[in-house]
Amino acid sequence: MPCVILNNRLLLIDDDPGSRRVIKKMAEGLGFEVVATEDPDCFIKKARNWRPSVITLDLMMPQADGVQLLRGLAADKCNAQIVLTSGADGKVLQTALQLGRERGLRMSGTLGKPMSVDEFRALFAPLARVTAKVLSSELAAAITDDQLFLEYQPKLDCRLGRITGVEALVRWRHPAHGVIPPDQFVTLAEDSDLIHRLTDWVVAAAARQAAIWHGEQLALHLAVNISAKDLDNLDLPDRLADHCQAAGIDPASMTLELTAMREAVQMMDVLTRLRLKGFNLSIDDFGAGYSSLVQLQKMPFSEIKIDRAFVMNMMQDESCAAIVDIVLHLARRLRLKSVAEGVEDAMALESLTDMGCDEAQGYYLSRPLPADGVAAFAHTYAGTCVKSAA
C-alpha cells in the first residue's frame, strides 16, 4: 500500500477575493503551487483529483460553510494538511479544528483574519513537503538499512528548571527524497504491518542512546511513542523489555506514550504487563478525545500529557487555560505526572509552572535535536531555575 507524499500544492477556498490574493501570494513565496476558488463544488473536485498537500479553508462562506466542507473532506478520506481561516470567534475556530480531528482529518492549525505575514509563515513553512511516492517495501528496507534516525526534544522539569528528559522522534532519511517526517510514514507502517518492526527499531535505538548518556553521567528520562496497533501484539512487553536489557538500561527510565486507544481486554493485558516490567505509561494528547477519562480510569497510566492545542492557546483563550488547570489538578489528585507539550513562549511556561505542571516541552525550549546536541543543551540549563511552583 503506497503512502503518498504530495507535491507542495495548496488548495484555497475563500469567498473574499482580497484574502485569496494575499494567501496565494504568501504561499507561492514559500514554494507552493496554488489553486484558489470560492466555489464549493470546484473545491471538492480539486481536493479529490488534484491531490493537494495543504488546504486552506475559510469557515464562513455564503454558499457552504467550512464545517460542511470538512464533512465532505472526511468522507473522501482526504490526506492533506488542513488550515482553517476565519474572522469568527476564536472558540469557534478551535471547536471546528477539533471537529476535523475527530473526523480523522489532519488539522494543522488556524489563522484568524486579518492574518500577519509572520503568522502565515510560521504555520505554512513546515507544511512544505518534497514530492515523492513511498512504498511499504522502501520503508521495510529503511528499517534494516540504517535510513532511520532519531532526534530528541528536550523536556524541562518546571520545578527544578533543568532538562531531565527527552522525547525520541523518528525520521527517515530517504536516499532520493531527503528527510521524511514521521507523520508521513508511520501510518504507512500501521497499514502495511510494519509497525511492530518500526517500534522495535525506535525503542532499541533510543535505549542504546540513553545508555550512552547514562554512561556520561547524563541521566535523562526517555519518552517514546508507540502505536495503538502495537498493543495488538501480546509479545510487546517482552520485546521492549529485551531491548532495554540489551542496552543495559532500566525500563523505569523509559515512558511509552500512547494515543487513540481502543477499550479491549487484550489492551489492558499488554499495558498492565508493560507496567509490571517497569515501563511508565503516558496518555498522550489528553483532552483531545471523548474517551480519555474512561481510559485514564481503566488503564494503568503513570502520566498525563496535555494536548498541545490547549497549551498553545491557553494565554489567549480562557477556556483553554481553564482546561489545562483542570487537567493539572486531575493529575495531582490521581498522583500522575503531568507534561505539557506545545509550549511556545515564556508566559506559557511561567503560567504552567505556577499551575504546578511537572514537565514542559515545546519550541520555546528547544526544537528536536540530534543526539550529539542534547548533552550540550541540557548542560546549558543546569542550575537555571524557572520560577518555583507553589
Helix, strand, coil % over all residues of the chain, rounded to 5: 45, 25, 30
Examine domains 3-127 and 137-381 and report if their fold is the same. Answer: no
Q: Minimum mean pLDDT among 38-42, 130-134, 278-282: which range?
A: 130-134
Residue-wise pLDDT for 91-111, tens only, equals 788 888 888 888 888 888 888
The pLDDT of 34-62, averaged and rounded, is: 90
| Closest listed residue to residue 53, CA positions, set 127, 133, 135, 134 | 127
- Specify the CATH number for 3-127; select among 3.40.720.10, 3.40.50.720, 3.40.50.300, 3.40.50.2300: 3.40.50.2300
Q: Cell 471523548, residue?
A: 290
Question: Looking at residue 383, what is its pLDDT?
Answer: 43
Question: Looking at residue 184, what is its pLDDT?
Answer: 74
Q: What are phi and psi of 257, to 5 degrees?
A: -100, 130
The pLDDT of 223-245, averaged and rounded, is: 94
Question: Looking at residue 7, what is its pLDDT?
Answer: 64
Tell me how far CA of residue 353 lies from CA of 27, 202, 303, 317, in angstroms.
37, 31, 17, 18
The pLDDT of 250-257, averaged and rounded, is: 96
Whether 116 contacts 164, CB under 8 Å: no
Q: Minimum mean pLDDT among 163-172, 234-243, 378-387: which range?
A: 378-387
Question: Looking at residue 83, what is its pLDDT?
Answer: 92
Domain spanning 137-381 has what CATH number? 3.20.20.450
Whether 264 contacts 274, CB under 8 Å: no
Residue-wise pLDDT for 367-378, tens only, equals 999 999 998 898
Residue 61 above 80 pLDDT?
Answer: yes
Residue 5 above 80 pLDDT?
Answer: no
Give the pTM.
0.72
Q: Minimum mean pLDDT among 34-48, 111-125, 147-161, 327-341: which range?
A: 111-125
Whether 339 contacts 155, CB under 8 Å: yes
What is the residue extent of each domain of the chain?
3-127, 137-381
The C-alpha angle 377, 185, 33, rounded to 5 degrees, equals 95
Q: Minimum mean pLDDT among 43-52, 212-221, 285-294: which range?
A: 285-294
Residue-wise pLDDT for 180-216, tens only, equals 888 778 878 887 889 999 999 999 999 999 999 999 9
Pairing of strands 9-13, 33-37: parallel
Q: What span, in angstroms and rounded, lies between the C-alpha atoms of 253 and 279?
A: 7
Question: Looking at residue 291, what is its pLDDT?
Answer: 47
Grid coordinates of 46? 480539486
Grid coordinates of 372? 550529539
